[in-house]
Amino acid sequence: MHALTLISLGTVFLTTSCNGRFFDNLEERYSESEDVSLWPLPRQFQSSPAAFKLSASRFEIVHAQDSTAGPSCTLLQNAFRRYFEYIFGYLNKQATLPNEVFDSELTQLQVLITSSDPECHGYPNLKTDESYQLEVDELKAVLKAPNVWGALRGLETFSQLVYEDDYGVNNINKTSISDYPRFAHRGILLDTSRHYVPLKVILVNLEVMAMNKFNVFHWHIVDDTSFPYVSRTFPDLSQKGAFHPYTHVYTPSDVKLVIEFARMRGIRVIAEFDTPGHTQSWGKGQTDLLTPCFSGSHPSGTFGPVNPILNSTYDFMTSFFKEIGTVFPDAYIHLGGDEVDFSCWKSNPDVQKFMEQQGFGQDYSKLESFYIQRLLDIVSSTNKGYMVWQEVFDNGVKLKADTQIHVWKTKPEYRDEMARVTASGFHTLLSSPWYLNRISYGQDWQEIYKVDPQRFNGTSEQKKLVIGGEACLWGEFVDATNLTPRLWPRASAVAERLWSDESVKDLGNAYTRLVKHRCRMLRRGIPAEPLYVGHCPHEYSGL
Ligand SMILES: *[C@@H]1O[C@H](CO)[C@@H](O)[C@H](O)[C@H]1NC(C)=O
Ligand SMILES: *[C@@H]1O[C@H](CO)[C@@H](O)[C@H](O)[C@H]1NC(C)=O
Ligand SMILES: *[C@@H]1O[C@H](CO)[C@@H](O)[C@H](O)[C@H]1NC(C)=O
């Protein structure tokens, strides 16, 4: 049975707002007893009215007897504790008096890892199998997954199946779920350069990512405005390029903590060090790295993109990316490559001379490609794969076959760009319609939700090259005060698009579930903003 038949559908109608514009108004329909609201919706979901009670004093999450993971698997031990908390942490204590006995009760969730290597100490990657199966029945539930990553996804689903009845007692219905993601790369980009984002806020959002089954944290860690990454090799970069050298930085131990916190939740951390543009802050701590701009025949005192004509630039990049390659364990590094402004390069007589020597004519995109090409060779030699923004592909740079092209522009039409990129045989991921830093009045989650990354003119072979997408939250107008509510639950719409089956796109059904999912996030202490009018059984109580 498909889940859609089990979850009450909201109704869609149009209203006129006071300034005369139309927008969708999705009326919320709570069922009598608050039923389940899975988000993102699993592949296969069957449930029956047989309900079992859960008691905090008797229920336990344990390793199944024949699981290949045991108590030494700290990743799972940690997750068991976390999800127990989510299930019982905010319960009305009255309802869980230890001596209360229920007729039909669920007392155990057994977690069964089946692969010989459960991957307790590994990192997730692009090829990770995140599938799981969940059977909830009388007395016990079994969560079966090949490895810990699938188990993490299944634990989240299990916790979402639990609901409170009218007496505040936790219930779960007899359920059978088989689930796996549609796309392998399901990411969130956070920008920690335009504003400094405190470590705690990053960690909270990793936690929320796991609640939404996201698996990539794209850390746009530095940019023009500030360089908060503390490099061991080049400490001056943050010393001089951060907003503050001690309070507004990410130390090596901070970075380690983020990576480990993410790993424990099945999330990859892909760092972006964007060059040759977006590098003003780099220039503060590294002399001669940026191109001096000229006004007529004199240096103007300002600087442009990374200077591509100096050997010292490539020496620097070699040392720098060698460090990055060891600090960030993921197989991929994002190298940026977007929005390079040529005006400074054009003004500089040494650059002009170099262009002539190389036979580039007046085509500065050739100079950009010259730089990127050398950078890619440097990064390849550290055995890392790379992701780049679409301009690198658009400019015809020679790319390794496993390069991932990140499509972000809205003009020209992103669907055509996806078609071009995949026609050239490259893997691609989509962000163009998912710039969540852009906000507007009304329910903009719907437009976010309607997007399908595989909806472009191309062969099925081309469609297979789409690895997923990322919701981006650029930081010009975002810091710790508004980051979390701006991102959630709007990013949840992206989460379902990237996880659930292509056929899951009914807005009314999504609205009903998303309202409840958002209430669940509130209950877990996350200030996720409202979708529309209404209330939650447990409101967010503020700071
Ligand atoms: C769960 O069980 C309750 C009580 O029998 C029933 O009212 C409800 O419809 C069931 N929900 C699902 C999703 O099966
Ligand atoms: C830069 O390196 C190239 C190749 O290694 C070399 O031919 C050239 O002389 C170097 N330029 C300078 C200014 O050192
Ligand atoms: C596919 O191509 C047709 C014909 O050129 C065009 O009308 C249509 O909009 C395209 N579809 C997409 C999703 O780009």
| Beta strand residue intervals within 167-297, DSSP E | 170-179, 185-191, 216-220, 268-272, 290-295
Confidence of residue 168 (pLDDT cuts 50, 70, 90): confident
Q: CA angle at residue 317 from 325 to 355, to 5 degrees?
A: 145
Report how far ligand 3's centroid is from the alpha carbon of 392 (Å): 25
Is residue 500 helix, strand or coil? coil
Report how far ligand 3's centroid is from the alpha carbon of 534 (Å): 39
Confidence of residue 138 (pLDDT cuts 50, 70, 90): confident
Q: Which residues pair with 427 in a beta bridge?
A: 404
Specify the range with the lowest mean pLDDT, choosing from 48-52, 243-247, 248-252: 48-52
Asked whether the predicted pLDDT for residue 1 surpasses 60, the reply is no
Going by C-alpha positions, the residue among 134, 180, 126, 159 that lies closest to residue 498 is 180
Of 339, 356, 461, 539, which is the active-site residue? 339
Kind of pairing, strands 185-191 and 290-295? unpaired
pLDDT (average), residues 163-170? 88
Q: What is the pLDDT of residue 538?
A: 87
Q: Residue 386's Cα: distance from chain center in Å?
A: 17
- Give, for ligand 1, the residue of 2, 35, 163 to mutate: max count of ligand atoms closer than 8 Å to Cβ: 35
Confidence of residue 542 (pLDDT cuts 50, 70, 90): confident
Ligand whose nearest atom lies closest to the CA of 454 = 3
- Give, for ligand 3, the residue of 410, 420, 457, 463 to mutate: max count of ligand atoms closer than 8 Å to Cβ: 457
Q: What is the pLDDT of residue 35?
A: 60
Residue ID of nearest Cα to ligand 1 atom 5: 49
Q: Which atom of ligand 3 is nearest to the CA of 415?
A: 14
Q: CA angle at residue 255 from 251 to 224, to 5 degrees?
A: 75
Asked whether the predicted pLDDT for residue 197 surpasses 80, the reply is yes
Q: What percent of the chain has pLDDT over 70?
A: 91
- The pair phi, psi for residue 230, each rounded to 5°, is -85, 110
C-alpha–C-alpha distance, residues 532 and 543, integer Å: 22
Burial of 319 (0-12, 13-18, 19+ CB in 10 A): middle
| Beta strand residue intervals within 413-535, DSSP E | 427-430, 466-473
C-alpha–C-alpha distance, residues 246 and 226, integer Å: 13
Report how far ligand 2's centroid is from the alpha carbon of 309 (Å): 10
Residues with CB under 6 A from ligand 3: 415, 455-457
Specify the range with the lowest mean pLDDT, choosing from 3-17, 79-93, 297-311, 389-403: 3-17
Q: Residue 201's Cα: distance from chain center in Å?
A: 14
Residue ID of nearest Cα to ligand 3 atom 14: 456
Q: Which atom of ligand 1 is nearest to the CA of 31?
A: 9
Specify the range with the lowest mean pLDDT, choosing from 101-105, 198-202, 213-217, 487-491: 101-105
C-alpha–C-alpha distance, residues 370 and 309, integer Å: 9
| Beta strand residue intervals within 165-285, DSSP E | 170-179, 185-191, 216-220, 268-272
Residue 260 is among the residues annotated as catalytic for this protein: no
The residues, any chain, with a CB within 8 Å of residue 175's CB and separated by 6 or more, are 45, 46, 47, 48, 134, 135, 136, 161
Which residue type, as a one-letter code, is found at position 463?
A: K
Report how far ligand 3's centroid is from the alpha carbon of 119 (Å): 43
